[in-house]
Amino acid sequence: MTTALIQRVSYFAIGCCFVFFLIIFSVLFAYQSITLAAQREAFAQRIESHTDILKQVILSKQLFVKNNDIDEWLNYHNQLEEILSTAPEMTAKQQVILNSIQSRNLNLKALFEKQTQEQFNNANKILQNHFNARLLTQLESIRADAVNLSVDVQENIRDTVEHKFMLIAIVLLLSLSTLTFTAIKLRRILKTSLTEVDSAITHNATDDFQKIELTYPSEEFESIVQHFQEMNKKLQENSISIDAMQQIIAKRTEVLEEMTRTDPLTKVANRRAIYERGALEYSRSKRASLALTVMLFDCDFFKKVNDEYGHFCGDELLKHLCHVCQSEIRVVDFLGRYGGEEFIVILPNCDNSGGIETAKRIQQQLAIQPLVFKGQEVFVTLSIGICSLTSNHKDFEQLVNDADQAMYRAKHNGRDRIEVFAA
């Protein structure tokens, strides 16, 4: 079964997105569990604190002697009941402890009401102390349960942190392993297919006609192979001369080279061609002490265009963007697709001010020349980062990285704007 390379790359991109969301989900799940455990700990601490306050009221004041003391005790007890009514979700073991606390609180309330009904303010001192001691016993039981609840919650927090950390680590390790394996596989497919095509072309140059057998069949390379086999057949049937054959091979090689340097959708330079041209311009600018500027830009809200109008409209929008850019840059400038909806313009013998001027022209033209898709005008704005060559840049890649930082700053600051990298 033949699988298109673009389909393999799409699967890889989908896999990357799935891994990203899986990691985010794991982190959010761990955060939710830890937050809930922290709420349980705070709940247990509040119960313990209020039982201490109620005990202090009994120990420091003579209950049932003054009505205001009784009111103070009732106020604190009502606060305790409010705390119990706002209990967070508990584990099974913690729920048993909470049920015990609630039951003891009901006993405490019943005992206090009984004391109040019998008017112990007229009772003797011994009887008052007896009932105060019973109240203290109930409060101590509630406090002991709260301490047990707090201890269990703390153990639960430690277990939760340990388990969630292990879960995230395992998910991350498996995800990175899978993505690394897929990336290596894609690289092997491309390298092997190109080597097999190149080998066949090399043998043809010596009149040793060979049929290409792709180790990893793909639609893109199958098309190349088909045309190559047809060429071989014609060469053999018509006994083409060596000179003519070499010309054909050179032409086919040029086509292959062009394919490896051109983005198939927009027909502008691809990432490989960008770095080749960039390295050449970087060396030339360094030798002659000339200015060199890189402009990196990204389409704002491009996913929204795909979602609203469809991916075909998104493809047409990228083509339209390249057309506008090529009409606004100089002949010596170099436009390429960096990846996705990101593009690079290499501006030889140009400083930051020249780069800003070029970027503004592109923005203005995009504002007045929208893509017309099925009778609707589709506008696009750009987040643009600009960086000029300095003595700090050791290679072209570093220059691109600085322009990339400026572009992301443009996105962060509101999109549809130009940012210049500040060394």
Tokens standing for 365?
């033209």
Q: State the first-to-last Cα distance of the chain, in angstroms, to the nearest integer.
A: 52
Which among 41, 341, 342, 357 is annotated as catalytic? 341
Which strands form 342-348's sheet, in the order they lie side by side? 334-339, 342-348, 292-299, 382-388, 418-420
Max intra-chain CA distance, the chain? 130
Q: Is 373 left (phi over 0), alpha (psi -120 to 50) or beta?
A: beta
Cα–Cα distances (Å) from 231 to 120, 201, 210, 224, 245, in that order, read: 114, 11, 11, 11, 9
Contact 185, 22 (CB under 8 A): no
Structural contact between residues 201 and 249, judged by C-beta atoms closer than 8 angstroms: yes
Could you tell me which of 140, 166, 138 has the C-alpha nearest to residue 26?
166
Q: Read out DSSP for 329-394?
A: S-TT-EEEEEETTEEEEEEET--HHHHHHHHHHHHHHHHHS-EEETTEEE---EEEEEEE--TT--
Q: Is 341 a catalytic residue?
A: yes
The residues, ordered by sequence, that sit 6+ positions from 394 with a Cβ below 8 Å of its Cβ are none
Question: In sequence order, what DSSP letters do the residues of 219-244 get, joined into one string?
Answer: HHHHHHHHHHHHHHHHHHHHT--HHH
Report the C-alpha gap between 230 and 228 in whole angstroms: 5
376-378 and 371-373: which strand pairing? antiparallel
Name the strand (E) or helix (H) holding 60: helix 5-60
Q: Around Cβ 70, how many Cβ atoms within 10 Å? A: 18
The pair of three-digit structure tokens given for residue 30, joined into one six-digit string:
């761990």
Place of tokens 């003891």: 104
**205 Cβ contact partners less than 8 Å away, ≥ 6 residues apart:** 245, 246, 249
Which residues are designated catalytic?
341
